[in-house]
């Protein structure tokens, strides 16, 4: 799909990009091909796409998969997506993904192998966290994000950008920045460069409960880990201090000083035996 095709589709269906939804339609076939190469779709694949828009990626991906489901917030695209997805055997749900429950899926037990999305900056973090919470066994996430967001996604301990997003994606799998996409590959052209990243599961067990724990650890970023975690009301200061001592970590440590594996060890110690009875 190139820019002329995008303009033709918008005219045909009487559509336009909504700035409030961060809509910029991909119109570069080379980029689409590169994303599909990363996704490694085949007839054994169950794929979920969040925010297909005009279906530039969808119309090629749906035929490669065994099961293809797209979630689109903008109901104006119903006719267009029916043509490129539904008529090819895929499914489109017109819902806000952030409000989507598993019971809304065609199969509530659905576990996608691959999840694709071009993520608007304003909803990038909540969508990424929800994806990891909803589908902890997904083998590959392929996302397009604004390049400036990479500092938060790939941040390391001790840096200003280090926080729940970088930690939880680290725990989910191996993160790779694959390539940049210039603004001319979209219509309308954004004012920023985009980057395509993939997060590949390495077969580790990923616990969705880590999300709330890590967010609590960073709730009071300027405070010590003890004060931040205890403010959630779930853990006492005494139990947190005991866990730190067991790990050989100083009592005055701040959350941003701990590695993702340190935080997992803290979680395991603090929750040991809580589910037993």
pTM: 0.94
Is residue 242 scored above 70 in pLDDT? Answer: yes
**CA-CA distances (angstroms) from residue 231 to 5, 87, 209, 261?**
54, 52, 17, 22
Burial of 203: CB neighbours in 10 Å, binned 0-12, 13-18, 19+: exposed
What are the pLDDT digits (tens) for 63-84?
Answer: 999 999 999 999 999 999 999 9
What are the pLDDT digits (tens) for 31-58?
Answer: 999 999 999 999 999 999 999 999 999 9
CATH architecture group of domain 3-200: 3-Layer(aba) Sandwich (3.40)
pLDDT over 70 for what percent of the chain? Answer: 98
Do the domains spanning 3-200 and 210-271 agree at the CATH topology level? no
Run of H or E residues at 171? helix 164-172
Residue ranges of the domains in the chain? 3-200, 210-271
Predicted confidence band at 205 (pLDDT cuts at 50, 70, 90)? confident
Cα separation, 171 vs 234, whole angstroms: 22
Predicted confidence band at 1 (pLDDT cuts at 50, 70, 90)? confident
Name the CA dihedral angle for 4, 96, 214, 155, rounded to a multiple of 10 degrees: 10
Task: Say what the pLDDT of residue 274 is.
Answer: 67
Mean pLDDT confidence for 203-226: 93
210-271 classified as CATH 1.10.8.100: yes
Cα separation, 4 vs 225, whole angstroms: 54
Is residue 248 scored above 90 in pLDDT? Answer: yes
Task: Say what the pLDDT of residue 40 is.
Answer: 97
Predicted confidence band at 276 (pLDDT cuts at 50, 70, 90)? very low
Mean pLDDT confidence for 144-155: 96
The answer to whether 85 touches 72, Cβ cutoff 8 Å, is: no
User: 51-66 as b/e, with b when 16 or more CB fall inside 10 Å?
Assistant: bbbbbbbbbbbbeebe
Task: Say what the pLDDT of residue 273 is.
Answer: 64
Is residue 118 scored above 80 in pLDDT? Answer: yes
Q: What is the mean pLDDT of the chain?
A: 95
Task: Say what the pLDDT of residue 275 is.
Answer: 54
């Amino acid at each position: 799909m190139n820019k002329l095709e995008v303009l033709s589709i918008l005219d045909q269906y009487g559509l336009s990009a909504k700035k409030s939804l961060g809509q910029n339609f991909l119109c570069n076939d080379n980029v689409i091909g590169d994303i599909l190469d990363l996704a490694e779709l085949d007839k054994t694949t169950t794929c979920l796409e969040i925010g297909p828009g005009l279906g530039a990626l969808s119309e090629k991906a749906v035929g490669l998969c065994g099961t293809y489901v797209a979630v689109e917030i903008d109901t104006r695209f119903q006719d267009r997506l029916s043509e490129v997805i539904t008529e090819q055997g895929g499914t489109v749900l017109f819902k806000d993904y952030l409000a989507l429950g598993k019971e809304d899926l065609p199969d509530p037990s659905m576990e996608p192998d691959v999840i694709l999305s071009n993520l608007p900056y304003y909803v990038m973090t909540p969508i990424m966290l929800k994806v990891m919470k909803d589908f902890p066994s997904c083998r590959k996430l392929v996302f397009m994000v604004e390049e400036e967001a990479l500092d938060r996604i790939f941040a390391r301990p001790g840096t200003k950008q280090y926080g729940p997003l970088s930690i939880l994606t680290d725990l989910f799998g191996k993160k790779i920045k694959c390539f940049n996409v210039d603004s001319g590959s979209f219509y309308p052209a954004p004012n920023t460069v985009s980057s395509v990243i993939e997060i590949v599961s390495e077969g580790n067990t990923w616990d969705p409960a880590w999300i709330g724990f890590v967010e609590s650890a960073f709730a009071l970023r300027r405070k010590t880990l003890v004060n931040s975690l205890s403010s959630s009301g779930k853990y006492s200061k005494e139990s947190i201090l005991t866990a730190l001592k067991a790990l050989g970590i100083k009592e005055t440590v701040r959350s941003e000083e701990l590695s993702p594996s340190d935080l997992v060890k803290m979680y395991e110690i603090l929750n040991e035996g809580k589910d037993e009875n």
